[in-house]
Structure 1
């Protein structure tokens, strides 16, 4: 007996047959003046402008060249296709669909598939999703099935939901296999026009003639082979949510509910002896729009007050405040990233306290200005000076590593500030390959009174064919006014094919 995986899993597929036209009517006010216009969307394919999408009234023109379509319908309105805009809109819809399940995936160019297994009544979820989308002005088809391929095919090719899923799949045309044109033509010529026709044939001859991909796809459509979706986002470690029978229209009250969710997260994290490095809030509006708000912490964090303080900083920095519109009917708080949070032992000199205060300051500043605005320097193993330091976002940087301490009584070997890139200077030396005697930098002349060097830094051997891969001779120099510089000669006289040049690389003070 063939095992049917469809008996244990449920997938909901949503399909927008006229996504481009619906998006245009929703986002372009001018389209409202032409509610009955024959809208078509064109793109250049095979050397001609072809219709790649249409509105409902013009669906019979899909696939034609624009010239042939105008010959049939002179009054049609042709618009350049915008696949990027369609994809962004589909992603926004998918964001709203994860109110039902975190297992949401995009399906080709105009569909979304949800794994609703274990999420409650699948039929109720499907009806709710379809009702919400229809109320927002979308023409959407939906279908439930035991595999994502079957659900997607039913949503695309059946005109109305069927009571018998297996029979409905078998009635689907062979186009649901999404095979290439040559394979589909060969199947039709053989008299195989539906999925049921193929299912009645032995799989071995089909695989020998058309390849195993065809029979594998057929098995997934029929629910005889296990199949899953790859969600757009990995499910978070912890999720907390509030649902409201009546949408709430006050942002202040929504933030109070978010604070309650943060308190629940604090309890759950304390039970696990963990803290959150990232907190993501999502506010679902009743019209299907979802607004995201996230904060990050440089150290594991679980206190509800601390988390809400970061959310407050983030809200204050928003140029576009969160608009409740017709009200929020669902608020969700996720903790995607957890880390162990061991008890902190207080040191007599207050070191642990100071470290925590610094982390809190970094968190607040990053929440307000953005995580990339503040950086922390970390040493890296490299003999190339500009590659010996990594500038990482302060909120993401690992614990600071120990820097090499200078020898007692010796000046530092590396300057406090490095120029990136090094700045070219004019140098006068007593001999061509000798130390600098005088140099000009930024329209000023500096007389060298003291120098130390050279410190020779060899090039990386895999960059010897590049001008950047020349040998460097570094000098620590002091001018007549006591200012100290770090300069280098790029290249060696007589040893390189490129004439050496001098550069200012850093300042000691």
Structure 2
């Protein structure tokens, strides 16, 4: 609310002269305060206080309705921004985040420097935040909300949490009240008490949360963002803005990853860059490759096309201070050596073109014909994204249709299917000597044709699961007229078995 009124950097300046701010919500049929700023706290306003009591203290209190969905969306954006510290970020209730910073603190000069940098940057974005570091998620959660230490020394969870209230163990509010009535008010009260009576009286969840906070039981965090297979990043002392600087950095990051990919025998299929703006916004751009690649120039060229497609949509603001390249999906890379006199590899050129078009237009817009699982001719093919088709084909692009699929050596004319298939079958007026025989003459598009010879029928049953049980079968004929033109017709409906008046349709033309 304050950020919308006074801007993101309002906490870096003196607070404007304005009434206190609070957020209200209906709790048990009563409008209560669920959040307030420090200015409101100085007037005696507290969390869970009724709005009428708060108005009695501060008549001009400025209130806004609690909107959990907006808070969750805001927290999700902060989660993405926290990726600048570690890729392992998880939810911590409805108002916090867990960051697994194992192996990351040295990049910021140590744990204390990381906490200071995190809190300072969040304050610059208009947020009030508290951070704590501990060996366990439970201890860090407790210290950030109820403790005073920013960093808990390794193995010192019991001493650090001893004087904190039981709510610091992430227990249900009802359980906390019940235990307080029996004299259990602090975490230290549970340390020397026999565990079996506690479990029988208060349930196993109490001991589970206690053990997790103390490190006696592992707690698994589920990262909100997918973890990249490989990551390389660059931090800038001065933020960058220009596209050439961004592309040059991408090329250097891809070059640094090439040896790692070579040692693992992998190539990139999907990668993404994350650009962290100094004001907290995060821009993400992803590209896909139709086959595994590892050449830095090839990867940077894809991002060049991707940036070109954005036009003015990439708002650099005051610049990007961190740029990260993530390899989201990699596959085995074929390192076959080509001979010096080998012809040009047109398949590689085709892949490069597909990748460039996909990066500029979007992978779903680059399509090709593919087969569908049906015998009905007009449904037997579809336009499929090239990359999805290559994934189903095991990483290779679907090539030209094989001879066995469309040709028959035993037929007089070779082709058993027309090269030109009409989008929809067109009605034909036909005369046949017998009901189940081929036509001796037919009229199509106002032109009359005499049959010289024919071949068929080829019967194709209906798809009752799609068209219903009342759909008709088809008898297809290859027909040649007196001028040598060849047609593909079918009779719709079996005479006296499905209909008494079957109709004829033109469906395709042979060369």
After TM superposition, the score normalised by the length of structure 1 is 0.76
Q: Deviations over 1:132-161 (max 9, x none)?
A: 222222211101111112212221223564
Partners of 1:348 and 1:249 in 2: CA distance: 43
Task: Select which of 74, 84, 101 maps to 2:69.
Answer: 84
Whether 2:18 is the aligned partner of 1:36: answer yes
Does 2:304 correspond to 1:312? yes
Change (3 A) 1:33 1:246: closer
The whole-number CA distance in structure 1 between the counterparts of 2:182 and 2:486 is 89
Tell which has more relative contact order, 1 or 2 (C-alpha 8 A, sep 6+): 1
d(CA) in 2 for partners of 1:40 and 1:418? Answer: 67
3-state SS in 2 of match to 1:279: strand
Inter-partner Cα distance in structure 2 for 1:35 and 1:440: 88
State which of 173, 184, 188 in structure 2 corresponds to 1:196: 188
* Residue aligned with 2:216, SS: coil
How many angstroms does 1:222 deviate by?
1.9
SS at match of 1:141: coil
Does structure 2 conserve the Cα–Cα contact (< 8 Å) formed by 1:103 and 1:235?
yes
What whole-Å deviation, never above 9, does each CA across 1:414-453 have from its counterpart, x for those lacking one? 886686xx89x8898999x989999999xx8898988965
User: Cα RMSD (Å) of the superposition?
Assistant: 4.6
Cα 1:430–1:171, aligned 2, differ >3 Å: closer, same or farther?
farther
Alignment of 1:298-337 (within 5 A): 298-337=290-329
Q: Kindly name which structure, 1 or 2, has the bigger radius of gyration based on alpha carbons.
A: 2
Could you say if the C-alpha distance between residues 267 and 292 of structure 1 is closer, same or farther in structure 2, counting changes exceeding 3 Å? same
CA distance in 2, matches of 1:503, 1:351: 50
The question of 1:124 aligning with 2:113 is answered yes
Q: Judge which range, 363-372 or 54-63, deviates more.
A: 54-63
* Deviation by residue 1:220-257 (Cα, 9 ceiling, x = unmatched): 11222222322223432222222233434544233322
1:296 to 278, 288, 291: 288
Residue in structure 2 matched with residue 473 of structure 1 by the alignment? 473
| Structure 2 equivalent of residue 210 of structure 1 | 202
Question: Residues 215 and 21 from structure 1, CA distance in 2 versus in 1: closer, same or farther, beyond 3 angstroms?
Answer: farther
Give the Cα separation in 1 of the matches to 2:449 and 2:145. 79
**Aligned equivalents of 2:369, 2:145: Cα separation in 1:** 54
**8 A Cα contact 2:8 2:124, kept in partner:** no
Q: Distance in 1 between matches of 2:324 and 2:248?
A: 13
User: Distance between the aligned counterparts of 1:487 and 1:45, measured in 2?
Assistant: 71
Q: Which moved more, 1:252-261 or 1:302-311?
A: 252-261
Matches within 5 A, 1:447-466: 455-459=459-463, 463=465
Matched residue count: 476
Q: 1: distance between equivalents of 2:65 and 2:121?
A: 29
Distance 2:492 2:343 in 1: 43
Which moves more between the two structures, 318-327 or 146-155?
Answer: 318-327
Residue of structure 1 in register with 2:406 after alignment: 405
Look up the match of 2:234.
Answer: 242
> After superposition, where does 1:273-288 map in structure 2 within 5 Å?
273-288=265-280
Q: Deviations over 1:94-129 (max 9, x none)?
A: 222222222222323221211112222222211221
Question: 1:393-413 CA deviation, whole Å, 9 max, x = no partner?
Answer: 213432327652232425544
Tell me how far apart the structure 2 counterparts of residues 381 and 459 of structure 1 sit (CA, whole Å): 11
Cα contact 2:9–2:123 (8 A) shared by 1: no
Unaligned runs of 5+ in 2: 391-395
SS of residue paired to 2:91:
strand
SS at match of 1:244: strand
Q: How does 1:63-142 map to 2 (within 5 A)?
A: 63=48, 73-119=58-104, 120=106, 121-142=110-131
144-153 or 405-414, which moves further after superposition? Answer: 405-414
- Whether the 8 Å CA contact 1:453–1:474 is kept in 2: the answer is no
Relative to 1, partners in 2 of residues 1:182 and 1:361: Cα closer, same or farther, differing over 3 Å?
Answer: same
| SS of alignment partner, residue 215 of structure 2 | coil
For the residue of structure 1 that corresponds to 2:349, the secondary structure is helix
SS of corresponding position for 2:364: coil
Give the TM-score, by structure 2 length. Answer: 0.75
User: How far is 1:276 from its partner?
Assistant: 1.0
Question: What is the rounded CA distance, in whole Å, between the counterparts of 2:257 and 2:5 in structure 1?
Answer: 41
**Distance between the aligned counterparts of 2:311 and 2:89, measured in 1?**
29
Measured in 1, the distance between the counterparts of 2:358 and 2:335 equals 25
**Is it true that 1:148 corresponds to 2:105 in the alignment?**
no
Query: Against the structure 1 CA distance between its residues 207 and 483, is the aligned structure 2 distance closer, same or farther, given a 3 Å change threshold?
Result: farther
Tell me the equivalent position of 2:223. 231
Match of 2:393 in 1: none
CA distance 1:428–1:174, change in 2 (3 Å): farther
Structure 1 pair 502–159 and aligned structure 2 pair: CA distance change class (3 A): farther
Counterpart contact for 2:23–2:65, Cα < 8 Å: yes
With 45-54 and 195-204 compared, the bigger mean Cα shift is at 45-54
CA shift, 1:297, in A, is 0.8
